Amino acid sequence: FLTPLYFMEGGSMEQEMGELRRYRTQSISRGEFSLSDSFYFYIKGLESIVDDQVTQRFSSEELVSWNLLTRTNHNFHYISLRLTIIWGLGVIIRYCVLFPLRITLAIIGLTWLVIGTTLVGFLPNHRLKNWLSELVHLMCYRICARGLSATIQYHNKENKPQKGGICVANHTSPIDIVILANDGCYAMVGQSHGGLMGVIQRSMVRSCPHVWFERSEMRDRNAVTSRLRAHVAAKTNLPILIFPEGTCINNTSVMMFKKGSFEIGGTIYPVAIKYDPRFGDAFWNSAKYNMVNYLLRMMTSWAIVVNVWYLPPMTRREGEDAAQFANRVKSAIAHQGGLLDMAWDGSLKRAKVKEEFKEQQQKMYSSMVMGKKGRNSQEPHTESTRRQ
């Protein structure tokens, strides 16, 4: 069985097992069990241990050439004296010149956000209040974007999210919000916090109907859905900004979209975000860096260069459930942004594989071994299928 281990090409479970069975001296019909089938699972297990498709999405992508920032390949620390001198000059420029200017701009932007939204919040609900609120938000986010030296290219602006809609985007970094809000105002959705973040959240909600949830409410799916649905129903409200992946992915792929965002109803406005890692790695590896360390890395990088594509609005088709709709939107975002379209759940970053994924593989193998008869009787014999 060594030959098929080396030369077996990637494909479906049935194709790869068929390749393994070809090397047996005795032919095996499709509806029979073969001990050689276990090699398929051995191979997949070893591939997952060496280089699986999930965990590599939660670490910084490897660069082709060094950008004079932190190395992603730690095997190379010294190349030449000339390059070391250039790197040293770069450190001086980034930390002694760019960083003080950027931190000053960030402080100005956040301070004006708190003061401006608080003052606007005292005005009565009127069209003037909404206009001033959007003006303050745009001004503050653009100052913060300058604090990151963000160079943003927006494409297909005719498809920008409209009021009463839901904007969904792939998620690479917390600064995704700043990148998108630099070109238009959105209603944020998230958990209420304390401390400095709580002060900012409370000031923002005074002037704009952002949707902040308490920790107890976040666990109540019906309460979350009803509040979001009520927000979307008011066509004068700003579009809701949601990142359905639920976690940050390393700018190379798009992982499974949670279907909750697509059960609300209304029009979905997909947005694809793609960063250029040559000037700075925008990915937030929350397992490795806390928020302060991450922001320090962002403000000491060369720049944040990013492309944003507004895709045509999408709605649920007749007979399409929320999960299918979410996958269709995800595929459109991945295709536009040049990202890999992956079916895996981003929550695997911190959790174990769900039992339903394991059962799905078991059912596929069972139906292949048992043939058509197994397919027809698969549902009534769930327990026997699991054992196999």
In this prediction, what percent of the chain has a pLDDT beyond 70? 74
Q: What is the pLDDT of residue 350?
A: 64
* Per-residue pLDDT band at 381 (split at 50, 70, 90): very low
Task: Report the candidate in 40, 35, 47, 44 with the shortest Cα–Cα distance to residue 15.
Answer: 40
pLDDT digits (tens, 9 = 90+) for 96-110: 999 999 999 999 999
Is a pLDDT exceeding 60 seen at residue 256? Answer: yes
Fold of 81-348: Glycerol-3-phosphate (1)-acyltransferase (3.40.1130)
Give the integer Cα–Cα distance in Å for 297 and 282.
Answer: 9
Is a pLDDT exceeding 80 seen at residue 12? Answer: no
Q: Is the separation of the CB atoms in 265 and 302 below 8 Å? A: no
Joined tokens for residue 383: 């327990």
Is a pLDDT exceeding 90 seen at residue 52? Answer: no
Give the integer Cα–Cα distance in Å for 254 and 248.
Answer: 10
Q: What is the pLDDT of residue 161?
A: 94
Average pLDDT over the chain, rounded to an integer: 80
Which residue, chain included where needed, has tokens 């003006």?
135
Is a pLDDT exceeding 70 seen at residue 259? Answer: yes
Give the integer Cα–Cα distance in Å for 231 and 235.
Answer: 8
Is a pLDDT exceeding 60 seen at residue 10? Answer: no
Other beta carbons within 10 angstroms of residue 138's beta carbon come to 15
Which residue, chain included where needed, has tokens 């009021």?
163
Confidence (pTM): 0.76
Q: How far is CA 361 from the centre of its chain?
A: 25
Task: Report the candidate in 387, 385, 343, 344 with the shortest Cα–Cα distance to residue 368.
Answer: 385
Q: What is the pLDDT of residue 44?
A: 74
Taking the domains of the chain in order of start, what are their residue ranges?
A: 81-348
* Per-residue pLDDT band at 95 (split at 50, 70, 90): very high
Q: What is the pLDDT of residue 279?
A: 86
pLDDT digits (tens, 9 = 90+) for 13-29: 667 666 666 665 455 55
Three-state DSSP state, 63: coil
Task: Report the candidate in 326, 356, 333 with the shortest Cα–Cα distance to residue 259.
Answer: 326
Give alpha helix (H) positions in the chain.
2-7, 13-21, 38-51, 81-92, 99-121, 127-147, 176-181, 195-207, 215-218, 221-233, 291-299, 322-337, 355-376, 382-387
Provide DSSP, 173-234: -TTHHHHHHTSS--EEEEE---HHHHHHHHHHHHHS--EEE-HHHHT-HHHHHHHHHHHHHS
Give the integer Cα–Cα distance in Å for 49 and 41.
Answer: 12
Strand order in the sheet with 187-191: 150-155, 304-310, 268-275, 166-169, 240-242, 187-191, 211-213
CA atoms within 13 A on the CB side of 123: 16
pLDDT digits (tens, 9 = 90+) for 326-357: 999 999 999 999 998 988 777 766 666 667 77
Is a pLDDT exceeding 60 seen at residue 94? Answer: yes
Give the integer Cα–Cα distance in Å for 297 and 304.
Answer: 11
- For 363-371, the CB contacts below 8 A with 24+ separation are 364/13, 365/13, 365/37, 368/13, 368/14, 368/17, 368/30, 369/31, 369/32, 369/33, 369/37, 370/31, 371/30, 371/31
